[in-house]
Amino acid sequence: MNWGRAKSILIVLFLITDVFLSFVLVQGRQAQNSLSKEAISATVRVLNNHEIYVTEDVIPRTRTANRHVVLQNFFASPEEAAVIMLGTYTVLEANEEVHAYQYKNEEALLQITDAGFNYLCSREHVPYKLEKEPSNKDMWDKVSSQLEELGFKREETAVENERWEQGLYHADVVPVFEDMKLYGISMKLIADSHGILSLEGAWFHEAEAEKSDEALLDLTAVLTAMIYRDDCRNLRIASIDTGFYIAGDYLTSRAITAIPVYVIHDTDDGVMFFDARAGQLLARR
């Protein structure tokens, strides 16, 4: 027997086996991390047959990892928040019993209560002239840089509901975690040609995050369960996102745990938030 030839054949067989096992592993991971085209098609048929209208391209194929995310209230320590946002300041009010705080410097006033916070610039407003209003993108680039100077990291913020009123830019700023929005938390922003005029609302940032071994409920299961809801008749689904949700009752807490959700937007600008672990409807707006 030619040992050299036999050795070459064995090496080739090992390589073929390795390639096959790698292919099987990749296919298995893809199946684990994404929905099949068949599952999506079947879900669309079921929904459309029950007067819930959606197209296959609207349903995201990629499965989202189950994350345990704990968020810290940015204003849990009013003094620390004042240092971050104002630098040096004068204390106008610090009432621990009713949780009411006011700090001021030459540039702005910061008010913190149980209801949230309010940041007001002391300078006069300088609105844009109508013909000189920048694009929303350019304006967001400008104010997001200023937000970062106030302690709100650019990579942890996203913008919604941008609009112009009398030369002033209005928008809602929401936190994001790994490119997913944290619904239920926001601050209203107003800016003029010089930048931020005011901020108002609540804000939390990531304190701790870890991946759970328990998989999220399949999106297809959540969608098909909608056929049993009378309030979903004649619903037309425009888009579906994954994100996190925080109920308004918890916005006064020092720390909260965000719930992973499937966010379903309809063509009438309605939004439904479904718990991605248990499947129940958490909120609708």
Domains and CATH numbers, the chain: 36-66+212-284 (no CATH), 75-203 (3.30.310)
The pLDDT of residue 65 is 82
CB 183 within 8 A of CB 248: no
**C-alpha span between 115 and 89 (Å, rounded):** 22
CB 50 within 8 A of CB 227: yes
The pLDDT of residue 13 is 47
Provide block-wise average pLDDT over 10 residues at a time, the chain (285 residues).
Answer: 54 44 33 80 96 96 87 96 97 96 98 96 94 94 97 95 97 94 96 98 90 86 95 96 89 90 96 95 94
Q: Please, what's the b/e burial string for 40-58 (b: 16 or more CB within 10 A of its CB; e: otherwise)?
A: beebbeebeebebbbeeee
The pLDDT of residue 12 is 45
The pLDDT of residue 67 is 84
Q: Which long-range contacts (CB under 8 A, 24 or more apart) does 37-42 make?
A: 37/61, 39/218, 39/220, 40/220, 42/220
